[in-house]
Amino acid sequence: MTTQASIEAKPVLLQELAASCGHGLRDIWIDHFQHILAHLVFHHTKKEQEGVLKFIAATTDIHIQYIRRCSVQNQVNELVLGLHEHRGGVLQEFSHMKTIDPSVEHQSGVSSLGLAEKGTRLMKGSQGREEGLQEIADYLSPRLLGILGFLDSKLVSSSTMYNLTQNSLKTALKLKNEEFYDIGCQAWTNFLYNLDESTLVGLIEEVVAVMKPLVKKRPEEMVPVLTSVLVETPSVKEFLANMPLLPEDDSLSIINQAILEHQLKVVGGSTEGVV
């Protein structure tokens, strides 16, 4: 409705609806700006987005940059939900958010147009894409824990969030420092413990392969959850023969032994006792 109202330049209906709910339109727009922004990025052109944002600013009598700076983490969280289906638009929006975030240091003398153009590098050449993606990764890194917490809360209410959360955790594995290894262990552990058994069976082979770098770095932290899902979950044992051995570490020996036993049974031509 906000989009349509901006096209018609008539906020009266929205104001009446807000008043009937006991709220001011300004408060609703500010409190739910993250949802409005995500909808615009996912479903509207840049020109349409700009029109709606100008309309909100004019109606609320607040500069849109001030509204945008009120809930940066919430905006990032909602945009992450559309990263798979609307990758280009979301990445460009992240790049733009970086240029207007007061917590990010910018080079002096760079025009706003020049900063906006940096987002287009994501679409031009491999070097430009790599540079643009690295800048986005650097910008999102301090917000990773908030993103993971948001996605973890979504797991409770929607099974469709599993693949999205898994993809976010894969991205997190590229951030290689001790703090992010700590966060990664906690996040992957929570992710695996929250999966129902049928979903776990469908994801486990890929998950184990993806997690190997983290397991190699922090084997002892990952042993409890891996033992639970690989050794103590009956429906998963059927797939152990297809899994790679985990990194060599004394703490992982029981799990590797279980994987090896199932691999040898398949090689020997016998499936008895594999399940």
State pLDDT tens for residues 39-49: 999 999 999 99
For 210, left (φ over 0), alpha (ψ -120 to 50), or beta? alpha
Q: Which residues in the chain come in under a pLDDT of 70?
A: 1-15, 17-18, 104-131, 152-180, 267-275
Q: Per residue in 149-158, pLDDT tens?
A: 777 666 554 4
C-beta separation of 193 from 225 below 8 A: yes
Q: At a CB cut-off of 8 Å and minimum separation 6, what does 93 contact?
A: 37, 41, 79
In sign, the C-alpha dihedral spanning 79, 81, 82, 84 is: positive
CA angle 64, 70, 72 (to 5 degrees): 100
In sign, the C-alpha dihedral spanning 70, 184, 98, 84 is: negative
Q: Per residue in 108-122, pLDDT tens?
A: 434 334 444 455 555
**What pTM was estimated for this model as a whole?**
0.54
